[in-house]
Amino acid sequence: MATIRELRSRIKSIQSTKKITKAQELIATSRITKAQGRVAAARPYAKEITRVVTTLANASTSLDSPLLVERETRRRAAVLVVTSDSGQCGGYNSNVLKETEELLSLLRSEGKEPVVYVMGRKGFGYYTFRDRPVAANWSGFSQQPKFSDSAEAVRHLVDSFLAGSGERVPLPGAHGEQADIEGVDELHVVYTRFVSMLTQKPVVRRMAPIDVEFEVEQLKMGDDILEDDANAVVGPEVEFEPEAKELLDALLPKYVASRIFAALLESSASEHAARRTAMKAATDNATELEKTLSRQANAARQAQITQEISEIVGGVEALAN
């Protein structure tokens, strides 16, 4: 059995750890609301630019934009993995990395060469520790991302996709040096979607080529004239200046940028929620362990006192005899 001094030393250590985990829990709790607000604030822009891109795609007679057209041969696929810069967030990083591994296996089974890009120090450390190549990485903004933080990554990924496999494009390499990197034919992103305070789900999205939902005007034809139909869906007639194709080419990179930034915001909110849950569990465990060790220390102290009293009584009786 541990001595009283050892038990008290362990209790003091646990109390120090408990202060850290409690502080981390409070910090994460205070940031979740702001992160949720940023996610909600970004949704109207994402919804509107999606609507505009869909309208332009429907208006354009020939969809020959590289971001919209499926390529006949798809040899390389870029995979952007969004992780955190710091730990203490439970299974947040392991879940998204597990989802990434499944995607990489799927791409290899389809005969495509996956090219990994990473956001966050934890993801970069995961691949470098296993000596696996990373085309480029960005970090330092996982908890409070800004649109400017994702701009370099978006430019890198879009330029690489527009170049296509078999072509070389001058872009910053994995460690910031300038290098000629071969292009890709697909662009995927793996991030964590914020569902609730207790649920965060890792998801995979294909950013390019973009899947556009075409709107079809539905009219009920009568004998001589067009008749009204309550279920008809008729879009407004829109005139574009400049041409729809020119606008579409300009908006598609912005659309990809908004999707990637939305993924960063979702991941940020998920990271704070996961850290709060993990730190709360750690604090509760520390409290229970502190109580258990305190009972053991009290029992040991009481046994020591009882033994000392017995020795004193025995000594008194010996002197009396």
**Average confidence score pLDDT of the chain:** 84
- More confident call, 64 vs 77: 77
pLDDT score of 109: 94
Residue 285, pLDDT > 70, answer: yes
pLDDT at residue 73 in the model: 83
CATH number of 22-216+244-277: 3.40.1380.10
- Domain-wise residue ranges, the chain: 22-216+244-277
Sheet of 186-194, strand order: 136-138, 113-119, 76-82, 186-194, 200-208
Q: How far is CA 268 from the centre of its chain?
A: 6
In which band, very low, low, confident or very high, does the pLDDT at 215 lie, cut at 50, 70 and 90?
very low
Higher-pLDDT residue of 183 and 127 is 127
Section 96-125 average pLDDT: 94
- In angstroms, the Cα distances linking 291 to 6, 50, 82, 203, 303 are 15, 55, 39, 40, 18
**pLDDT in the model for residue 226:** 46
Please give the share of the chain, as a percent, with pLDDT higher than 70.
Answer: 85
Burial class (CB in 10 A: 0-12, 13-18, 19+), 277: buried
Q: pLDDT value at position 282?
A: 93
The helix/strand/coil state of 183 is: coil
Active-site residue (options: 11, 39, 80, 89): 89
Predicted confidence band at 62 (pLDDT cuts at 50, 70, 90)? low
pLDDT tens-digit readout, 150-186: 888 898 898 888 888 777 767 665 455 566 777 898 9
CA 64 to chain centre: 32
Which pair of structure tokens corresponds to residue 36? 């949720």
Active site residue 204: no
Handedness of CA 88, 92, 95, 99 (dihedral sign): negative
Amino acid 17: pLDDT: 93
pLDDT the model gives residue 217? 45
Write down the pLDDT at residue 221: 45
* Whether the predicted pLDDT of 23 surpasses 50: yes
